[in-house]
Amino acid sequence: MGWGFRNLLRHPLRTALSLAGIAVAAAMLLDMVMLSGGIERSFARLLLSRGYQIRVTPAGTLPFDAEATLPNASRIRDRLRADPGVAAAGAILGANVHARRGDSLLTLFAYGIEPDAQGIYEVESGRDLHRGEADGLLLSGAAALALGARVGDTIRLTGRLDPQLAGSGADRTLVTRGIVRWLYDYRGQRSVGLALGTLQEMTGRAAGDRVSLFMVKARDGVDPAALAAALRRQFPGAAVNSIADLVAAFRVRMLYFRQLSYILGTVSLLVTVLLVATLLTITVNERLGEIVTLRAIGVSRLHVVAQLVAEGAALTILGAAGGVALGLATARYLDAILTSFPGLPAAFSFFVPRADAIALAGAVLICTGTLAGLYPAWRASRLPIAATLRAEAT
Amino acid sequence: MSVLVARDVTRDYPMNGEIVHALRGVSLSVSPGEYVAIAGPSGSGKSTLLQVIGGIDVPSSGSVELLGTRLDTLDDRALTRLRLLRLGFVFQRFHLLPVLTALENVELPMAEAGVPRGERRERARSLLDYVGLGTRGSHRPTQLSGGEMQRVAIARALANRPAIVLADEPTGELDTATGADILALFRRLNLDGTTLIVVTHDDRLAAEAGRVVHMFDGRVRS
């Protein structure tokens, strides 16, 4: 007859407060589940966003360290492209450049790219650079805004500032060809992209043919880990890492995040257990007369337990449903705060909502809440009928 | 043949660190269709006797045979089933489920007994008609008066067509006029063939019964 479930409506305020408590605990649990695996997944997804599974960088560095460079880039690139396991390989150079806007000098981060093999941007408007297009320029939205530039506009960039002359050297005038989204930029980063050779010349890295890293895409059917191992042997002076290697290194660094999420997730489960158990204990104590009367008129222990457990389960399910909405909203809010930290790619997420994470958090919570109702329910079903009726009568 | 036979029943229980001898060797026999009132002052053991013969308390010694079955041979499950199907209970404080309507409260024992939904609804309606609450089926207990609640409790007690109805101070919470309605209802019930055992210290209720068992200090006096 569902009297257990309907009992929740008996004290609407108490039920609402309990639901709010469970929803907060559920939201916390969900956020912690998303956080525990989300950072790693987001990192891997980000690194793989254009399908380049291997990074070749100067030894001892991880992408993207603009100060450390690899020499003889053309030779390395040719060797990489000659490898039968490699589908595509492109070099990237990172450096600061400068542009004038009125009386101000803006510092911009510049990517030297090979547009036919790049894994770091997506064109949003305009067009990509053509291969060998030495005077073309790509701007991030923030750079375009700061420069007041649109597609087709001409921008003068300075590669090196000479503090002694209070002037600049290695200036180039470039034509804006497209507005792009740089995948590894932090929020609001003013970035520009230009042909690798042009940037090398502007920043004095043409001598030695230096670049910051190579991105390598394995051919279909080639195991990226095996290819990375082979490349490691070919280029002993460089660091060759597959995405799996980078994620593993990242996992070690993020260990404390996972530990924190486990602890907070456990706390939220305990809070749920305490809330449900407390509420059911209170409600059982208030209804001793009712419960023993049911037993007296022939309602089985099992039925009493089932109704009270259903009451706890209903409370947990409703609280969990509210918790999912709350958890997703708080995750989004927290993500917006955390990813606004300087130096962190804007495309990176700490909380990755996944159906399996939501289902896992929901299932764990509902099981926990249901089990939390078992003890008060069991206790209620074992009440001595006559003694309880006697106590109720006095 | 008796529907109830209690032989030399004692019941002791601890209270505030002392042993209370609630029943001191009570024997009682009730025939089918009888209307028995158990009367006596507070603390005389009459409610304890009702609980023991209703299988919701266990005697310290002696035996109770209900409808030919010795209660001490039954486990909790069988005893619960016996209470559900063969006994009807009416309590002083009604103890209806406030979240269910009057109709649903009457249906509850039938649902527990596995009576199909349509059948139990129809029977619950006719029982509410029987106790004079045919139009109040959709009301919740909080929307009913004390007398109405007790009548719903009586309808609930009759739900599974019990062999015996046991009532513990059924007029104890009611005013005189409402109590009189309940007396009339019990009289009608008995006339319709229900065996009634009623614990009371209401003289009017006791006077309605075919036999009055007087108790004092845990013993039957007459």
Pairing of strands B164-168, B87-90: parallel
pLDDT at res. B76: 93
What's the pLDDT band for A364 if we cut at 50, 70, 90?
A: confident
pLDDT at A2 over 70: no
Q: How far is residue B48's CA from residue A390's CA, in Å, rounded to a whole number?
A: 9
Please enumerate in sequence order all residues whose Cβ is within 8 A of that of A255, keeping only pairs 6 or more positions apart, or say none: none
Is residue B10, in this structure, part of any structural domain at all? no
Question: Which burial class, exposed, middle or buried, applies to A33 when counting CB atoms under 10 A from its CB (0-12, 13-18, 19+)?
Answer: buried
Q: Please enumerate, as own/partner, the contacts of A247-252 that have beta carbons within 8 Å and a separation of 24 or more.
A: A247/A40, A247/A43, A247/A44, A247/A47, A249/A62, A250/A39, A250/A40, A250/A43, A251/A40
- Mean pLDDT score of chain A: 86
Q: Is A385 in Cβ contact with B57 (below 8 Å)?
A: yes
Domain that holds residue B87: 33-59+80-220
Which structure tokens are listed for B46?
């009459």
3-state class percentages of chain A: helix first, strand second, coil last, to nearest 5: 50, 20, 25
Q: Residues of B with CB below 8 A from A390's CB? A: 47
pLDDT, tens only, A92-122: 999 999 998 888 889 999 999 998 888 889 9
Report which secondary-structure segment, H or E, holds A76: helix A73-82
Half-sphere exposure of B166 (CA within 13 A, CB side): 23
Q: Tens digits of per-residue pLDDT, B168-194?
A: 988 888 888 888 888 888 888 899 889
Q: Which residue has 């042909």 as its token pair?
A: A195
Answer whether B97 sits within 8 Å of A303, measured CB to CB.
no
In this prediction, residue A180 has a pLDDT band, given cuts at 50, 70 and 90, of very high
Say if the ipTM goes beyond 0.95.
Answer: no
Contact A297 B47 (CB under 8 A): no
Mean pLDDT of chain B: 92
Answer yes or no: do B56 and A385 touch at CB < 8 A.
Answer: yes
CATH code where residue B46 lies: 3.40.50.300
d(CA B88, CA B74): 18
Distance from CA of B210 to the nearest CA of A (A): 25
Q: How far apart are CA A202 and CA B72, in angstroms?
A: 101
Which tens digits make up the pLDDT trace of B41-70?
888 999 999 999 999 999 999 999 999 999
pLDDT band (50, 70, 90) for residue A1: low
- Range A23-32 average pLDDT: 87
Q: Which residues of B touch A1 (CB under 8 A)?
A: 100, 104, 107-108, 111
Domains contained in chain B, number: 1
pLDDT confidence bin for A11, thresholds 50/70/90? confident
Per-residue pLDDT tens over the stretch A55-69: 999 987 765 555 788
Q: Measured between CB atoms, which of A9, A296, A389 is closest to B83?
A: A296
Candidates B47, B87, B112, partner chain A, best to mutate (most A CBs within 10 A): B112
Beta-carbon separation of A293 and B56 below 8 A: no
Q: Which residues of A touch B (CB under 8 A)?
A: 1, 3, 6-7, 9-10, 289-290, 293-301, 303, 385-387, 389-390, 392-393
Q: Which residues of B touch A (CB under 8 A)?
A: 13, 47-48, 51-52, 54, 56-57, 76-77, 80-85, 87-89, 91-93, 95, 97-100, 104, 107-109, 111-113, 156-157, 160
pLDDT of residue A226: 93
Which residues contact residue A353 at a Cβ distance below 8 angstroms, ignoring those fewer than 6 apart?
Answer: A34, A328, A331
Residue B107's pLDDT is 96
Q: Does residue A70 come out as left (phi exceeding 0), alpha (psi in the -120 to 50 range) or beta?
A: beta
- Residue A63's pLDDT is 55
Q: What are the tens digits of pLDDT across the range B110-157?
A: 999 999 999 999 999 999 999 889 899 999 999 999 999 999 999 999
- At A166 the pLDDT is 46
What confidence tier does A200 reach under pLDDT thresholds 50, 70, 90? very high
- Under 8 Å between Cβ of A128 and A178: yes
Tell me the whole-structure pTM to 2 decimals.
0.70
Nearest CA-CA distance, residue A322 and chain B, Å: 25
- Check the CA dihedral B193-A389-A5-A299 and report its sign: negative
Mutation for testing the B interface, residue in A288, A297, A388 having most B CBs under 10 Å:
A297
C-alpha to C-alpha distance for A31 and A324, rounded to whole angstroms:
9
What pLDDT is attached to residue A160?
78
In A, minimum Cα distance to B95 occurs at: A290
pLDDT at A268: 84
Residues on chain B touching A385 (C-beta within 8 angstroms): 51, 56-57
Q: What six digits make up the tokens of B48? A: 């304890």
Is B166 among the domain residues? yes
Phi, psi for B21 (deg, rounded to 5): -95, 85
